[in-house]
Amino acid sequence: MSASYQSVLWNRQKKMYDMILAGFAVSYIVLFVIITLIVNPEATQETLIIRSTSTLALLLLHIILCIGPLTRLNPVFLPLLYNRRHLGVSMFFIGAIHGIFSIIQFHSLGNINPILSVFLSNTHYTSFIKFPFEIFGFFALVIFFLMAITSHDFWLHNLGPKVWKTLHMCVYLAYTSIILHVLLGVIQYETSPVLIVLLAIGLASVVTLHLVASHRERTKDREEFPVSEAFTKVCSVNDIAENRAKVVALNGERIAIFRYDKKLSAVSNVCKHQNGPLGEGKIIDGCITCPWHGYQYLPHNGSSPPPFHEKVATYDVKVIGQEVWVNPLPYAEGTERPPAYINTKDNGKVVS
Ligand code: HEM
Ligand code: FES
C-alpha cells in the first residue's frame, strides 16, 4: 500500500502549474497592451482592460477544451490535465473582469440598472445579425461561475459524479455561447477580420481534436470481443508490461487488466474521481494510480487504500499457459478477487 498516497491536494506540482499559469497570463496582458499601444496609441485604459482580458479568457477556454482530446491522443499532455480546474477557475475570473468592465463602460451611465441594461439597451431580439451579443457573454459567464464554484472535490462528492459531470459538460454550451458572443460582437463593432480568423482557427482546432480523439476511442472499442458471460480469452501475458495494464472492451464495459509482481488483476477502467482511464495509469507503491489526478486503488479489490473510500468493480482473471482470460461479469465495487498468477517458467518474458 502506498505510504505516499495523496488525494488531490495542494502540492509542488500544483504550485508550479499555477505559477506558470499566472506568468503566462501576466505576460499575455503586458504584451497585448504594448502591441495595442504601438498600433493604436489612442486606446483608453478601459479598452485595454476589456480587450486584453476578453482575448486571454478566450485563449484559455480553447486550451481547456483541447486538453481532454490531446491527452486521449498522447499521454505527453497529461500534466496539463492534472490541474485543469485551476485553469478553468482562472479563465472564469479573467472573463469576469472583462464582463464587469464592459458593463461599467457600456451600461453604467444610463438611468436603468447596468445589468438590466445588458438585456434592454439593444432590443433587436428578432434579428440574428443585430442580436444583443452581450447576452451570450453573460450567459456563458453564469455557466463558468457555476463551474468555478463547484470545481472543488467537495462538490464532486456532494453533488455526485453524475450531476457534477453533467454540470461541467455545460462548458460546451458556454463555448457555443462565447462563439456567438464574439462572432456577433465583431460583426456589429469591428472592421478588422483578425479576431474572426483566429476564432475560426480555434473552433476548427477544438472540433478536429474532439473528432480525432473520439474516432481513436471508437476504434479501440471496435476490437470488442463477442458478448459472453463466461471467461473470454483477451490477450497474451506478454502483451501487458510490468506495472501496466491492457484495456479490453467486454460486453460494452472497459476492463483494465494490470500486471504486477508476477500476478494479474482486473478492475473497471473508469476512475471514481472524474472517470479517468485507470488502464492508462500504472502501479505505483502497489496501487493502481489514475493518470489524471493520482487517485489510487488496490489491484486485488479495487478499493482505495485507507483513509479513502473510492471503490471500482473487480473481475476474475485466469492465466492458461500464456493466455489471459477474463470473466466479463463484474463483482460489486471493492470486492476482493484473487489475482491470477503468471507461470514464470512459461511466461518469464516481461514486456517493457
Ligand atoms: C457579463 C458578461 C459579458 C459582457 C457584458 C461582455 C461584453 C462585451 C462587450 C461590450 C464587447 C465589445 C467590447 C469592445 O468592443 O471593446 C465584448 C467583446 C468580447 N467578449 Fe465579452 N462580455 C461578457 C463575457 C465574455 C466572456 C465570458 C468572454 C470569454 C470567455 C468574452 C469574450 C469576448 C471577446 C473575445 C470579445 C471580442 C474582443 C473584445 O472586443 O474585447 N466575453 N464583450
Ligand atoms: S484521479 Fe481524477 S479521474 Fe482519476
pLDDT tens string 199-222 = 999 999 999 999 999 998 887 766
Q: What number of CA atoms fall less than 13 Å from residue 123's CA on the CB side?
A: 2
Task: Look at 40 and 1; give whichever has higher pLDDT.
Answer: 40
Contact predicate 299/260, CB 8 Å: yes
The closest alpha carbon to 276, from 64, 71, 66, belongs to 71
- Residue of 98, 176, 190 to mutate, ligand 1, most atoms within 8 A of C-beta: 98
Supply the pLDDT for residue 179.
97
The verdict on the CB of residue 61 being under 6 Å from ligand 1 is: yes
- Residue of 36, 54, 136 to mutate, ligand 1, most atoms within 8 A of C-beta: 54
Cα 351 to middle of ligand 2, angstroms: 26
CA 133, CA 115: separation in Å to the nearest integer?
A: 14
Q: 175 — phi, psi (to 5°)?
A: -65, -45
The verdict on the CB of residue 282 being under 6 Å from ligand 1 is: no
Supply the pLDDT for residue 156.
86
Supply the pLDDT for residue 161.
81
Lowest mean pLDDT among 16-30, 147-161, 249-263: 147-161
Task: Look at 258 and 251; give whichever has higher pLDDT.
Answer: 258
pTM: 0.85
Closest residue CA from atom 10 of ligand 1: 102
Triad 83, 89, 95: Cα angle to 5°: 135
The verdict on the CB of residue 312 being under 6 Å from ligand 1 is: no
Rounded alpha-carbon distances, angstroms, from residue 202 to 48, 61, 66, 215, 218: 22, 10, 10, 20, 24
Which residues are paired to 246 by β-bridges?
A: 257
Cα 223 to middle of ligand 2, angstroms: 25
Cis peptide before 299 (omega within 30 of 0): no
For the chain, what percent of residues have pLDDT higher than 90? 74
Rounded alpha-carbon distances, angstroms, from residue 25 to 59, 101, 204: 10, 18, 23
Closest residue CA from atom 43 of ligand 1: 134
Cα 106 to middle of ligand 1, angstroms: 11
Cα 270 to middle of ligand 2, angstroms: 9
Rounded alpha-carbon distances, angstroms, from residue 346 to 232, 233, 242, 320, 325: 20, 17, 16, 10, 16
The verdict on the CB of residue 134 being under 6 Å from ligand 1 is: yes
pLDDT one-digit tens code per residue, 140-196:
999 999 999 999 888 888 888 889 889 999 999 999 999 999 999 999 988 788 999
CA 38, CA 50: separation in Å to the nearest integer?
A: 17
What is the H or E stretch that residue 302 is in? Answer: none
Taking CB atoms and a 6 Å cutoff, what residues make up the pocket around ligand 2? 271, 273-274, 276, 290, 292-295
pLDDT one-digit tens code per residue, 311-350:
999 999 999 999 999 999 999 999 999 999 997 665 445 4
CA 86, CA 181: separation in Å to the nearest integer?
A: 24
Q: What is the DSSP string of 19-34?
A: HHHHHHHHHHHHHHHH
